[in-house]
Amino acid sequence: MKAGLLTLAALSAVAVAQPAHNHRHRHAKKDAAYVTDVEYVTATAQGPVVYVDGNGNPISTSYPAAAAPTVAAAAYSAPAPVAPAPSPETSAYVAPSSAAAPPPPAYTAPAASSAPAYSAPASSSAAAPASSPDVSSSGHGITYSPYKGDGTCKSADEVTKDFGGINGYSIVRIYGTDCNQVANVLSAASAKSMKVFAGIYNINNVAAEAQLIIDAAKSNWGIIDTVSVGNEGVNSGQYTVDQVAGAVSSAKSILSGAGYSGPVVTVDTFVAIIANPGLCNVGDYVAANCHAFFDSSKTADEAGAFVLSQVQRVSAACGGKKTVITESGWPSAGSANGAVVPSPANQQAAVSSIKSAFSSNIFLFTAYNDYWKKDNAGTFGAEHHYGILGDCPSG
C-alpha cells in the first residue's frame, strides 16, 4: 500500500470600494488582503498505486476494482486579516455628484510643499485683447452671490452692505444676471475700486443675459474684467464642449457689438478641462475651478501647493495657455473627507496657503456663507460654510 498526499488551499478575496463626491472629487481606494493557508493531510486507502518519477513527483495513480479512497480534510479556519501594503498617493478629486464626470488623469504631487507664487504664461494662442484689464494685474479675487438664506434676492442696499465687509480683494466674481445683480454689484464694487468678473449662467439664454450685462454696464466697460459663459457645464454632463463653445462665441459677438473688448471665457473644473482638451480653445484664457478640500489626502496647509499643481497640469494640457483659478476654498464646518477636516482654523490655514501660492489669477471661494445652497451626499455637509468672511453683514 502507498500513502498519498492531499493538499487543501484557501483562496484570498479582495474587496474594493471607491465612493464618489459635489462641488467638484475621488477617494483613494483601499484593498483588504488575506493570507493563503495550506494544510497537508495524509490518509491511507485500500488499493491505489501512485507512480512517481526520480524526484518523487506523482506521475499517475491506478486503482483496483475497489472504490477510490476518500479523505477527510481538516476543517478550514480563515486566517486573521493582515494590513495591506500602503498604496501610492493618488489624486482623490471627485467630480460633482450631479453627473458622472470623466475620471481625472493621475495626480503627481508637487516636488515641494512650498510653491512659488503663480504667474500666468506670457503668451497664449488666444490672448485677451490688449485694451482689456488683465486678471493677472488685479491680485486676489473673491466670489460673491447676492441671495438671502431663503434663496430670494438681496436689494441693492443689502449688496452694498455686504461689500462693506469685503476688503483686500481687487476683483469680485459673480455667476449670473438674476436679481439685478450685475447692476447692484457693479455699483457696490466700483465704490470700493474693485473690478467685476461677470457671468452668463444659462448658456441657452445667452442673448438675454448678455443684454442684461450691457444694460448694467452702460458702456462703462472698464470695470468689467471678464465675462464668463456657463459654470462647470461640461463637468456636470449638462453640456457638450461644442455647445459651450457656441455659447461663448455668441456671447462674444453680442458683447463686442456693444463695445466690450475684454475676455470672454467658460468656467469648468480642472478635471473636466484636462479630460476635455477642446475646452482649452473655447475662451480667451482657461478658467478652472479647483478645491483641495475634495482631495481626501490633502491637509489645509497643502491647499496652495495642490491648487498650483493643478494649474500647471491644466496649462500644460492646454499648450501653455494662461490659466486662472475661478474658485478655490475650504469650509469652516461640515464632515471630514479623509485627512481633510473642515474647521475655522483649517479654513484660515487653507486660504493663507492659497494666497501664498498665488499672487494673482485666483478667486477665493467665497465671500460669505451661502445658506441658500443645498447639501447632498457629496458635499460633506459643508455647502453653507465656505464663507471666508463668515455670515453676510446684510443677514
∠ CA(219), CA(220), CA(225), 5° rounding?
115
Residue type for position 173: R
The DSSP call for residue 320 is T
CA 180 → CA 88, 190, 302, distances in Å?
49, 16, 38
Q: Annotated catalytic residue: which of 158, 232, 302, 327?
A: 327
Q: pLDDT digits over 235-255, tens only?
A: 999 999 999 999 999 999 999
Tell me the C-alpha distance between 4 and 71, whole Å: 10
145 contact partners, CB below 8 Å, separation of at least 6? 174, 175, 366, 370, 372
pLDDT at 83: 38
pLDDT at 56: 54
Please give the model's pTM, rounded to 2 decimal places: 0.69
CA distance 54 to 263: 83
327 is catalytic: yes
Q: What is the DSSP letter of 91?
A: -
* Cα 356 to Cα 350: distance, rounded to the nearest angstrom: 10
Dihedral (CA of 368, 295, 380, 277) sign: positive
What confidence score (pLDDT) does residue 376 get? Answer: 86
**Cis amide leading into 366 (omega within 30):** yes
- pLDDT of 377 reads 79
Across the chain, which distance is largest between two alpha carbons, in Å? Answer: 106
Burial class (CB in 10 A: 0-12, 13-18, 19+), 371: middle
What is residue 57's predicted lDDT score, i.e. its pLDDT?
Answer: 54
Cell of 394: 446684510
Q: Shortest CA distance to 266 belongs to which of 371, 258, 281, 170?
A: 281
Low-confidence ranges of the chain (pLDDT < 70): 1-138
| Dihedral sign computed on CA atoms, order 225, 226, 227, 228 | negative
Three-state DSSP string of 147-160: ECCCCCECCHHHHH
Q: How far apart are CA 88 and CA 28, in angstroms?
A: 9
Cα distances from 23 to residues 122, 197, 339, in angstroms, run: 30, 20, 18
